[in-house]
Amino acid sequence: MGGYLRDWDRLLRSANYPETTRHNYLLAAAQLAGYLADYSPDADDAAEDPAAVTKAHVEAFQAWMIETRSPSTALNKHKGLQQFFKWLRDGEEEITRSPMERVRQPQVPTKLIPIIRNHDTSKVLDTCKGKKFIQVRDEAIIRLYSNTGARLSEVATLTVDDLRHRGGIGPRHVQGAGAVHARVGHAHRVADTRPDWGRGR
C-alpha cells in the first residue's frame, strides 16, 4: 500500500491540493489498510493491495470508524477513500470498478452549536480593557470572531493592513478551507482598534 500512497501523494502535490486535504486523503487510505491488517483476518491481500479491497471491507471499516470515533469522522474517511479509489480506477487503471460505488455515506446527526450570548461576549471584552498592544490586539480578535464568525485559521493569517475601515464596515480578505479566498465585512469597532496597535507596541 505504501507505494500507492507515495504515488498518490505526488499527484495531489502536483495538482496543488492543500496540505490538510492531502493529509486527510492519505490518512483515510492508510487507516483502511491498517484496519484490514489488524481486524480483518480474511483481508491480508487487501491490506497490501488496494485492488483486492471489496465493498464489504469498506463497509466494515466505516462501521468500525463510527463505533470507535464518530459518524463525522467516518464520513471524512468515506470521502477520502472515494478519491483514492477513483484515482486507482481512472488515473492508474489498477481497478475497473471502485469498491466505493455502492457504499453509502455514513449519516451524521445534526449538531446545534451553542452561540455565545452578547452579555457573555461583553464579559470577555472587559478583560481586554487597556491601551497596551496585547489588550488592543485581543479586543480586535474577539470582536472579529464575534462579528464575522470567522474560523481560527482565517483570523490567524490576518495582518493589520487586512482591516480597512470604510464607512463603518470594512472588507477583509481571509483564506479559508481549500485555499479559498473571501472578503468578509467587519463592524467598525474592530477597525477602530487599529490605530492604537502601533502605539501599543
Q: What is the structure's pLDDT at 196?
A: 54
Q: Are 131 and 196 in contact (CB under 8 A)?
A: yes
Domain count, the chain: 2
What pLDDT, on a 0 to 100 scale, did the predictor assign at position 69? 96
Please report the pLDDT score of residue 144 as a whole number.
Answer: 84
Domain holding 39, by residue range, is 2-91
**Residue at which a domain ends, from 55, 73, 91:** 91
Q: Cα–Cα distances in Å, from 146 out to 17, 84, 121, 133, 186?
A: 30, 38, 8, 20, 9
CATH number for the domain spanning 62: value is 1.10.150
What pLDDT is recorded for position 158? 76
Same structural domain, 122 and 166: yes
Give me 183's grid cell.
472578503
In a domain, 107, yes or no: no
C-alpha dist (Å) from residue 56 to 9, 39, 59, 86, 136: 26, 13, 5, 17, 56
User: Does 98 map to a domain?
Assistant: no
Record the pTM.
Answer: 0.64
pLDDT tens sequence across 66-81: 999 999 999 999 999 9
Indicate whether 99 belongs to any domain: no
Question: Which residues of the chain register pLDDT less than 50?
Answer: 166-171, 187, 197
